[in-house]
Structure 1
Amino acid sequence: MTAPSALELERRAYRARRSRRSIWVSIASTLVFAALIWVGVVSTPGWHSVQQSFFDPGEAWRAVPRVLAGLWLNIRVLFASAACVLVLSILLAALRTLRGAVFFPLRAAVAIYTDLFRGLPLLIVLYLVGFGIPALGFFPRMPAGFWGTVALVITYTAYVSEVFRAGMEAVHPSQRLAARSLGLRYWQSLRLVVLPQALRKVTPALMNDFVSLQKDVGLISVLGAVDAVRAAQIQVSLNYNFTPYLVAGLCFVVLAVPMIRLTDWYSARLARREQMGSVV
């Protein structure tokens, strides 16, 4: 292997110096910006009362056990909802892409469903499902977390099915034709040829939807489920201090940050592969 020339070594050293300088400038500017914001906030007339109401360390420490116990319900609802949404979304996307006039009722029904529940606010769906369906008296008594999971699945399936449909339609028609020419049936070509390619195309969007779902599981508290948000609300009602809400919010942030960073890394990886001309 040929050793790099002196000019190339000089260029590498220059780039390394510029990179180190950029890092130090970024750190310094960030610290200065944070210090200015901090000074501006603590200089406001109401900072002392806000600090006592929202940033009380003692109240935060007392709220942690209850909030963490409630967060376990949020985590269970999150993974149950995500699994159901994934399966149902693929099924609805496949039904929406069926060809032929005979399948028009199915396509129309799926289109009406996705339009309706993408338009309805999640909070209203939670009320309709959590209070309306049990009032019918047809189903046995179920916990509030169950109905919250149903409402989340109904709403997010409408969103994610459209993401899958967009990915499936982005696959070139020649892929389907080639699969059918090899003797594969429609569902075989969908499972073996179309869906794997569609999944790679829409993975970043699916990961972003999962991040949104992580956040929205906190809304099941409106049904009375004692999750992290409801536990924080109970703690607030005892001492009229809002610090437990901050504790619950930080728990959701900690839960979401790994997936957010993974989404950013994967999106950047796909962008690099596309720029290099690789097959995605």
Structure 2
Amino acid sequence: MKKAYVFPGQGSQFKGMGLDLYQSSDTAKGLFDQANEILGFDITKIMFEGTDEELKQTKVTQPAIFIHSVILAQTSGDFNPDMVAGHSLGEFSALVAAGALSFEDGLRLVAKRAEAMQKACELQPSTMAAILGLDDQKIEEICAGIEDDIVVPANYNCPGQVVISGSLSGVEKACELLKAAGAKRALILQVGGAFHSPLMEPAREELAAAIHAAKFQSPVCPVYQNVNASPATDVDIIRENLISQLTAPVRWTQSVEKMVADGAGVFIESGPGKVLQGLVKKIAGNVELKSI
């Protein structure tokens, strides 16, 4: 049975995250201190002592989850993956854990990504909504049918759970139509904007330059990327898929299905919380689930 390590995205943060690691490992402490220097502010203080509101700021949330996820993997002692994948932001954690990026370069890219996404969110009011209990094809059809507004599927999280993303009016229209089509719930999410939609184009352009400037190396194992749910080891392909990720949907359901088809029997989550274990269980119920 192959081991697949998976890394969570935004929303899995919690107050006190990483404190146990900081206190129990000199290696972890060194990486946390290095993160503060790279970012230019004391992110560890917010992670360990900050309020939920402080942790929710995009410029804090994304680096915090990345830092926690990578340090967990790098200090686990037996990190030996056959394959890795990350959900949205988690793809950066996966790439660093698999040796495709250094911790420093990965953190700088994540900070740049958070800043660029925040700016894109401020350009146009936008949002996301979770759609429960409707098949993917129906959601795609309804979103595509709203021609005068921007609304697209953004996260294929697991069967029966898709997140849509777009302008405020586009998402509201889609929610009404999706409920009328039989969705059990259409829940507007408390997020900063329309992630993984065409409205992130300004952020994609900004991040592309930083990704091209960063030094990538071949990972120690295949990285299953969000954009196409396929394994990649070629540095140029990894780079282009990472750039496309900001405006394209996160194909998590398809990624997990592909990893299982390629022999993954154990999924190990590295990062705060157990969100991905819950999703993997709904996608592939017969695999073993663990946390670091």
Is the shorter-chain TM-score for this pair beyond 0.5, marking a shared fold?
no
* TM-score normalised by the chain length of structure 2: 0.25
**Larger gyration radius, structure 1 or structure 2:** 1
- Of Structure 1 and Structure 2, which has the larger fraction of its residues in strand? 2
What TM-score, normalized to structure 1?
Answer: 0.26
